[in-house]
Amino acid sequence: NAGVTQTPKFQVLKTGQSMTLQCAQDMNHNSMYWYRQDPGMGLRLIYYSASEGTTDKGEVPNGYNVSRLNKREFSLRLESAAPSQTSVYFCASSFGDLLDTQYFGPGTRLTVL
Amino acid sequence: QKEVEQNSGPLSVPEGAIASLNCTYSDRGSQSFFWYRQYSGKSPELIMSIYSNGDKEDGRFTAQLNKASQYVSLLIRDSQPSDSATYLCAVNYGDMRFGAGTRLTVKP
């Protein structure tokens, strides 16, 4: 039982490049989330998915797209990376909705040059 | 505004002491509150959740909620060096909002 897994662990991009961050959970959770964490700012919600086939914007969605591929997988795409997107990205999941306890993956450290 | 405020610290306490971490929030309508612990370079992990006014105890940890004053706190009794981490307060405003965290150092 791996919990929440994320790939890659580290990534360096040049401005304008695109990439997709992958997240998968094996806990049969219904909801999945993408956060970014910047120094001094805490975790901020980018997008979330309450169920397969649905996605909703969080606090900071600009510059990102998401796909809930199936119940297990939730990907985050940066179409044209910018230095302001340098951050640590965490995926999380919960059995219920946003009121429920969230379990976090190990994170992806992204640097955009 | 959906704000969650924490003192960034660092908060330093000696081993065996009580560590007190505080968090204030801006929306009186919030119903659920969480404390997460995050070790350096790691992901957040849930310590406790609290939904009702009063105290909730779990081992060495006690969460306290006062909705009238809009604050939630975490007490760590008999602090250990292994408790040294950043503690994140989270408030559910319909989406989860996190504070920036308080860095705790427990000195042997």
- Tell me if chain A has a CB within 8 Å of the CB of B100: yes
The closest alpha carbon to A56, from A39, A78, A74, belongs to A74
A72-105 per-position pLDDT tens digit: 999 999 999 999 999 999 999 999 887 788 999 9
Quick one: closest CA in A to B34, which residue? A101
The answer to whether the beta carbons of residues A75 and A91 sit under 8 Å apart is no
Q: Is the pLDDT of residue A22 over 80?
A: yes
CA distance B10 to chain A (A): 12
**What's the number of CA atoms in the CB half-sphere (13 Å) around residue A26?**
5
- Tell me if chain B has a CB within 8 Å of the CB of A41: yes
- Tell me if chain B has a CB within 8 Å of the CB of A44: yes
Q: What is the mean pLDDT of residues A27-47?
A: 93
Q: Looking at the partner chain, which of A43, A99, A107 has a beta carbon nearest the beta carbon of B98?
A: A43
- 3 state SS for A43-94: EEEEEEECCCCCCEECCCCCCCEEEECCCCEEEEEECCCCHHHCEEEEEEEE
Query: What's residue A1's pLDDT?
Result: 67
Query: Residue A96: which residues within 8 A CB-CB, separation 6 or more?
Result: A30, A31
The answer to whether the beta carbons of residues B91 and B70 sit under 8 Å apart is no
- Tell me if chain B has a CB within 8 Å of the CB of A88: no
Partners of A58 on chain B (C-beta within 8 Å) are: 95
pLDDT band of B2, cuts 50, 70, 90 = confident
Tell me the three state secondary structure of residue A31. strand
Beta-bridge mates of residue B55: B64
Which residue type is seen at B79? Answer: S
Query: What's residue B89's pLDDT?
Result: 96
A55-67 per-position pLDDT tens digit: 999 989 999 999 9
Query: Residue A92: which residues within 8 A CB-CB, separation 6 or more?
Result: A4, A32, A33, A34, A35, A102, A103, A104, A105
Determine whether the interchain pair A98/B92 forms a contact, defined as Cβ–Cβ distance below 8 Å. Answer: yes
Average pLDDT in chain B = 93
Token readout for B58 is 């779990």
pLDDT band of A39, cuts 50, 70, 90 = confident
pLDDT band of A41, cuts 50, 70, 90 = confident
Determine whether the interchain pair A106/B43 forms a contact, defined as Cβ–Cβ distance below 8 Å. Answer: yes
Q: What is the mean pLDDT of residues A36-62?
A: 92
Of B27 and B53, more confident: B53
B18-27 per-position pLDDT tens digit: 999 999 999 8
Cis peptide before B10 (omega within 30 of 0): yes
